[in-house]
């Protein structure tokens, strides 16, 4: 990807589409820092901050946390020096109000969205993908019972950790609510970014390396 200003790449797609996995790969491939509002909110819940206490029940039910809370945690993180070289936004924006707030924030900083990539998948397959996923408790590397097992069973490929965790909201009932929230509130952002001329769509039903390659091609086209 060639670029002059720091890149702001948005990954759109329902839960399970592979946004987190691909965002981590963009970090490796292009040095773009993964900025996941889900991770930021889970950290706030774990620390018991006021934002975390307000978000906890909504997250457990698979709904969307209020724009005010999400924007506050995002702005906080955007102020950190490591994001200055470019970011991949994973799970943000999720509503029209968040997309408009992001545009305003970037305009203030003399930046704009470089690319928004929609990871296109079938809902039915998402339930299976989500049900099998886990992450290393030490470094956050993502795994899947079927699609991405560690090379040595029970040992993280990246850091050698042995403790794997599953997300509390990856239960089938909650996944259904999360998919509904995606279709009702987030999918309309595909048209929003299409109108800005920064949207590309990729088929995200393939393997992780296939999706990684398709994403690289699409970012090269958008930023060429
Ligand atoms: P994720 O890790 O992106 O799947 O997010 C997990 C949960 O955090 C979601 O189901 C929402 O409850 C909440 N969340 C994450 N990002 C946002 C956002 N941008 N807007 C509202 N809620 C969010």
Q: Which residues are catalytic?
A: 19, 94, 133, 167, 178
Q: Which two tokens stand for residue 104?
A: 């305003």
Query: What pLDDT was estimated at residue 4?
Result: 62
Query: Mean pLDDT score of the chain, rounded to an integer?
Result: 93
pTM assigned to the model: 0.90
Find where tokens 């509390």 sit: 168
Give the side-chain half-sphere CA count within 13 A for 218. 23
Residue 74, ligand 1, Cβ within 6 A: no
| Residues sharing a CB contact under 8 Å with residue 219, sequence separation 6 or more, in sequence order | 1, 9, 26, 30, 115, 117, 200
Q: How confident is the model over 148-188, as pLDDT tens digits?
A: 999 999 999 999 999 999 988 998 889 999 999 999 999 99
69 C-alpha to ligand 1 centroid (Å) = 11
176 C-alpha to ligand 1 centroid (Å) = 14
Q: Give dist(CA 1, CA 91) in Å, integer.
A: 22
Q: How confident is the model over 90-125, as pLDDT tens digits?
A: 999 999 999 999 999 999 989 999 999 999 999 888
């Amino acid at each position: 990807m060639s670029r002059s200003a720091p890149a702001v790449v948005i990954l759109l797609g329902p839960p399970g589409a592979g946004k987190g996995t691909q965002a981590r790969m963009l970090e490796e491939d292009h040095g773009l820092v993964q900025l996941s509002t889900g991770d930021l909110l889970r950290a706030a819940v774990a620390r018991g901050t006021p934002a975390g206490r307000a978000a906890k029940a909504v997250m457990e039910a698979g709904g969307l946390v209020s724009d005010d809370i999400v924007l506050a945690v995002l702005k906080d993180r955007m102020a950190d020096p490591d994001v200055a070289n470019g970011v991949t936004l994973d799970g943000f924006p999720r509503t029209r109000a968040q997309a408009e707030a992001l545009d305003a924030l970037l305009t203030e900083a003399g930046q704009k969205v470089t690319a928004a990539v929609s990871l296109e998948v079938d809902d039915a397959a998402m339930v299976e993908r989500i049900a099998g996923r886990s992450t290393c408790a030490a470094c956050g590397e993502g795994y899947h019972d079927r699609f991405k097992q560690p090379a040595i069973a029970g040992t993280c490929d990246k850091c050698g950790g042995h403790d794997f965790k599953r997300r509390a909201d990856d239960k089938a009932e909650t996944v259904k609510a999360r998919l509904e929230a995606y279709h009702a509130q987030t999918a309309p952002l595909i048209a929003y970014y299409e109108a800005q001329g920064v949207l590309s769509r990729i088929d995200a039903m393939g393997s992780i390396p296939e999706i990684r390659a398709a994403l690289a091609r699409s970012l090269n086209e958008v930023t060429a």
